[in-house]
């Protein structure tokens, strides 16, 4: 976007007056003739909804692994065994349990993340260059992660609670009534609004809806930063000579590899986030007073490997999720390019 001062010209070609240059906010977000930020918001929201729905079964399985302690009786064992158990006890609805909340959360989360990243790229771009260097790209990614988490964190807690509540309702599955096909009839679980109101009223108001926020930021900021950095590098590497972008299949591969690399480094923070989000629930056996207290108790009771609980199914989720997310984002952005 041009930085030149707008000039009014007389009929004889002389400059009549000058308008002041655009402010930072109008230049990067609300320019009257530039609505690319809105396109990035829309494309980001679409990519989030598509990617998370695709991997909803693996997302729920990962959460169940994360909140299950070493001495919990091993209710959920292995990827195949857990998926089979969910199918037997809950049917296909079990795979989608909490996905409505997840989509409600992920649409603004992904929209804010991609739009913020694109705008920070513009802000941090050096004069005369077309690409950010590694430190600036990591900074843009971290800023995008912080903005997206801050905007949607209460919905993340609600989504986690809804997923966990069903698992606890099935703790005594043999005692539940059965339907005609022999499957247990699961009690009606609270919805999004009901769960949020309960947390707000009984667990400490607005502060309770941000429980675990510190651990989340500590993990999400570097994760998103590494995610964008790895994707940009891999995207350039996978682009054939003479082409401006890789094919759709190669974009999927780039996103999958980027997600796995970033998640390997930051995964313990994700486990801590889940534990902190459910620690105040009455039927959860572990109680943590802070993120540091959670780390101490987990390492003492479960060892270092406790911080990586659910990592394998998380790889199975992250690879397609991030791949589909970047692919669908670029598809949506291209479709909106001439809007």
Cβ proximity of 154 and 123 under 8 Å: no
Cβ proximity of 61 and 76 under 8 Å: yes
In sequence order, the 6+-apart residues with CB closer than 8 A to the CB of 273 are 212, 215, 216, 219
Query: Residue 326 is encoded by which pair of tokens?
Result: 């970047």
Residues 227-271: tens digit of each pLDDT? 999 999 999 999 998 888 899 899 999 999 999 999 888 888 888
Residues 7-58: tens digit of each pLDDT? 444 444 444 445 455 444 444 444 444 568 888 999 999 999 888 888 888 7
Long-range contacts of 11-15 (CB under 8 A, 24+ apart): none
Please say if the pLDDT value at position 4 is more than 70: no
pTM, entire model: 0.68
Query: What is the rounded distance in angstroms from the CA atom of residue 203 to the CA atom of residue 195?
Result: 11
Residues 292-314: tens digit of each pLDDT? 888 888 898 888 888 888 788 77
Query: What is the rounded distance in angstroms from the CA atom of residue 65 to the CA atom of residue 77?
Result: 8
Query: What is the rounded distance in angstroms from the CA atom of residue 141 to the CA atom of residue 120?
Result: 8
Residues 89-142: tens digit of each pLDDT? 777 777 777 777 778 878 999 999 999 999 999 999 988 888 889 999 999 999
> What 3-state DSSP class applies to 16?
strand
Query: What is the rounded distance in angstroms from the CA atom of residue 67 to the CA atom of residue 33?
Result: 49
């Amino acid at each position: 976007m041009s930085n030149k001062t707008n000039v009014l010209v007389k009929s004889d070609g002389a400059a009549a007056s000058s308008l002041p240059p655009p402010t930072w906010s109008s230049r990067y977000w609300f320019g009257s003739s530039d609505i690319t930020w809105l396109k990035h918001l829309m494309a980001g929201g679409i990519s989030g909804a598509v990617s998370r729905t695709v991997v909803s079964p693996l997302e729920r399985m990962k959460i169940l692994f994360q909140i299950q302690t070493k001495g919990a009786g091993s209710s959920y064992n292995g990827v195949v065994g857990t998926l089979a158990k969910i199918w037997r006890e809950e049917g296909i609805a079990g795979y989608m349990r909490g996905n409505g909340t997840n989509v409600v959360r992920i649409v603004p989360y992904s929209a804010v993340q991609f739009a913020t990243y694109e705008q920070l790229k513009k802000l941090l771009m050096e004069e005369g260059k077309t690409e950010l260097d590694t430190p600036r790209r990591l900074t843009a990614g971290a800023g995008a992660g912080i903005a997206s988490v801050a905007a949607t964190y209460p919905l993340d807690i609600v989504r986690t609670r809804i997923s966990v509540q069903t698992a606890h309702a099935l703790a005594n599955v043999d005692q539940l009534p059965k339907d005609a096909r022999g499957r247990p009839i699961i009690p009606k679980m609270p919805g999004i609004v009901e769960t949020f109101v309960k947390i707000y009223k009984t667990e400490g108001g607005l502060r309770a809806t941000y429980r675990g926020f510190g651990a989340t930021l500590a993990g999400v900021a570097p994760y998103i930063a590494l995610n964008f950095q790895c994707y940009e590098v891999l995207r350039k590497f996978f682009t054939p000579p003479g082409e401006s972008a890789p094919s759709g299949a190669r974009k999927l591969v780039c996103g999958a590899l980027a997600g796995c690399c970033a998640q390997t480094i930051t995964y313990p923070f994700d486990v801590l986030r889940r534990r902190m989000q459910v620690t105040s629930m009455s039927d959860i056996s572990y109680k943590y007073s802070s993120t540091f207290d959670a780390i101490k108790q987990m390492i003492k009771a479960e060892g270092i490997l406790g911080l990586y609980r659910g990592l394998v199914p998380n790889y199975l989720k992250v690879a397609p999720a991030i791949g589909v997310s970047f692919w669908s984002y670029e598809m949506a952005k291209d479709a909106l390019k001439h809007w």
